[in-house]
Structure 1
Amino acid sequence: MVSSKDRARKLARVKLDRQLVRRAAKQRRRRQIQAGLGAAAALLLVVGGIAWLGGAFDDDESSTDAADSDVCAWTAQNVESNKSLKDVGEPPTSGIPTSGSRPMTITTDQGAPIVVNLDLANAPCSAANLAYLAGKQFFDNTTCHEITTEGAIRCGDPSATGQGGPAYSIYNENVPLAPEPTPSASSSPAKAPAAAPLYPKGTVALIGDPPGTNGSQFLIFFKDFSPKVPAYPIIGTVSGGMDTVTKIGRIATEADAAGSKVKPKEKITVQSITVGQPSAETATVPGATPTVAAPSAAPSTSRKS
């Protein structure tokens, strides 16, 4: 016969076994939950990483602000004091491409169109300025009113006076640096190599009066030019139609209203100027290291006397 003490021990044993079974079941569920949570966390990390790489967590406002930030600035000119200026509004100050190049096609009555690669990296605002004016047909049926003594054709002034342009101006962006003075002659009889011209043949540059207040007027050089004090911001280089530029450069000149022998005897008409879309290719622009220069007291275009 089983004693009461043995029966109590047996009941305690059964109770303990039940507790162990329940405890083991709880541990299994806890491990399952932890495993599920771990897998979910890993999945979230993977998805989050992919989203981060895709830019999902970028600050949209910051990105928009960067895209909309001002790149250029335009200075209003007094159209009341200068009747040669033409008010066509102002270009936008943001959303301006700052790399690669874009083609500018100048169609004249002198031969094949002249194609210029505008340098968006070193002169983005100058390029945006010309593109804006071309879109307004600002240059249509204007004349190249000078063939300068420096070896350049001067165009882009609807008034053909040298004082015309839009009702705003743009600062110098890409004026080449003058070469540093060469050291005094040494004992070596070897002759130093000639420096590259600051404005090689085919260079296109803006010209302002006074310098640093550029508008619509530009120079196309048909021969090399190296001034002691560079004043013209380079905006691009001729990539097509150089024969037309050379032909125009050979036109004889006569005295203009100021007595300078720079007025072409034959009328040179710019029928239109168009500016194409930006290209990712880097523009090849002549000139020295680019620099942004503020308006200075550098001399204006020299003229024949």
Structure 2
Amino acid sequence: MATNQQRREAAKRKLERQLARRAERAKRRRIIGVGVTVGVVVVVAGLVVLFATRGNDDAAADNASPPSSAGEQELQIPTERIDVPERPEPLAGPVNCEYPASDQPAAKEVEPPDGANVPAEGTVDVTLQSTAGDIPLTLDRALAPCTVNSFVSLAEQGYYTDTACHRLGTTGLQMLQCGDPSGTGSGGPGYQFADEVFPELKYGRGVLAMANSGPDTNGSQFFMVYGDAPLDPSYTVFGTISDEGLSVLDKVARAGDDGSFDPSPGGGKPNMEIKFTGVTVGA
């Protein structure tokens, strides 16, 4: 039988074992708690980095320029037409027009128009049928009778049919230039004629005017203004563009250009091809 001394020693050893086990369990709990805490800190830190990185990506995307693609170019296009220009003094008609041969051969063979007894009043409705949509025009003989006479003659001879517009301007001068079958910007009908300008001329949305390479060098090329056009009165205005036609021009303009005419004269070939498939001339 165990003595009292032995029982006390056994009880002491049991207590020591219990205390040791409790200390071990407490130590494990502390280790696990530290591990969990570290894990939480790592996860939180990871989330912070993730969100910070994603935030930077979003900021970069917000600040990056959008890709240039058809129909997506950001343009500031005026919505208001300018007032239709008028001559300060009406022309006494009819007038006689001269169409002498130019230094350059014709880009497409045509006959010069008859320049005798050309009307100097009234309008002519013309529709440019194109791959981008119809562009109805109103030609004004009172503004430029010799120009209207030439344009109608070229249209009726099929000069503009199957001809693509070769130059689009979107900054500064907002216009679409057409009328050169060669597509180079230097082609013409083989003849030229004098300017029909006056100091009060202004250019802006809705105006139809002749392109030239200097005084009295009008030929077949013309430009249609869909926006701003800060030009001197050196370009013959001979009509206006309908709202339907302006919608087509806006669409082409928003598709942008290839910059092939930069830095001078500026702009480039339209990214959206616009080719005339036919021209209808009314009364």
Band the TM-score falls in, shorter-chain normalisation:
0.5 to 0.7
Amino acid across the alignment from 1:267: E
Distance apart, 1:99 and its partner CA = 0.7
* TM-score normalised by the chain length of structure 1: 0.56
Q: Distance in 2 between matches of 1:174 and 1:101?
A: 18
1:46 alignment counterpart:
none
Deviations 1:150-195 (A, max 9, x none): 00000111011111111111111135537xxxxxxxxxxxxxxxxx
Who is 1:208 aligned against? 212
> In the alignment, is the contact (CA less than 8 A) between 1:206 and 1:234 conserved in 2?
yes
The structure number with the bigger radius of gyration is: 2
Choose which of 238, 247, 271 in structure 1 pairs with 2:251. 247
The correspondence for 1:266, drawn from 244, 268, 272, is 272
**SS of residue matched to 1:118:** strand
Alpha-carbon shift at residue 209 of structure 1 (Å) = 1.6
Aligned match of 1:132: 153
> Aligned letter for 2:204?
P
1:196-236 CA distance string (max 9 Å, x none) = xx212010000112343111111100103233x33211010
Query: 1:175, 1:234 within 8 Å by CA — same for their partners in 2?
Result: no
SS in 2 for 1:273: strand
Aligned to 2:222: 218
5+ unaligned residues in a row in structure 1: which ranges?
1-66, 179-197, 278-305
Q: Could you tell me which of 113, 116, 133 is aligned with 1:94? A: 116
Shift of 1:258: 6.8
How far apart in 2 are the matches of 1:109 and 1:139? Answer: 13
Q: For residues 176 and 139 of structure 1, what CA distance do their matches in structure 2 show?
A: 30
- After TM superposition, the structure 1 = structure 2 runs for residues 107-186 of structure 1, keeping only pairs within 5 Å, are 107-111=129-133, 113-148=134-169, 149=171, 150-177=173-200
Q: How many residues align?
A: 187
Deviations 1:32-54 (Å, cap 9, x if unpaired)? xxxxxxxxxxxxxxxxxxxxxxx
> Residue 142 of structure 1 contacts residue 158 of structure 1 at CA under 8 Å; is this kept in 2?
yes
Q: After alignment, is 114-123 or 251-260 more displaced?
A: 251-260
- What SS class does the counterpart of residue 76 from structure 1 fall into? coil
Alpha-carbon shift at residue 95 of structure 1 (Å): 3.5
Give distance in 1, aligned partners of 2:175 and 2:249. Answer: 9
Residues 257/237 of structure 1: CA separation in 2 closer, same or farther (3 Å cut): closer
Is the 1:176–1:234 Cα contact (8 Å) retained in structure 2?
Answer: no
The separation in 2 between residues aligned to 1:137 and 1:88, in whole angstroms, is: 9
Query: Using the alignment, how far apart are the partners of 1:250 and 1:237 within structure 2?
Result: 21
Q: How does 1:31-110 map to 2 (within 5 A)?
A: 71-78=96-103, 82-83=104-105, 85-110=107-132
Higher strand share: 1
- Conserved? CA contact 2:113–2:149, under 8 Å: yes
Alpha-carbon spacing, 1:266–1:210, altered in 2? closer, same or farther (3 Å):
same
Relative to 1, partners in 2 of residues 1:224 and 1:202: Cα closer, same or farther, differing over 3 Å? same
* Distance in 2, Cα, partners of 1:97 & 1:87: 25
Residue identity over aligned pairs, in percent, reads: 32
Distance 1:83 1:248 in 2: 30
RMSD between aligned residues? 2.3
| 1:84–1:159 Cα contact (<8 Å) kept | no
Structure 2 counterpart of 1:130, one-letter code = F
Match of residue 83 from structure 2: none
**Any gaps of 5 or more consecutive residues in structure 2?**
1-92
User: Hey, what does 1:12 align to over in structure 2?
Assistant: none
Change over 3 Å in CA distance of 1:252–1:273 after alignment to 2: same
The answer to whether the aligner puts 1:235 opposite 2:241 as a matched pair is no
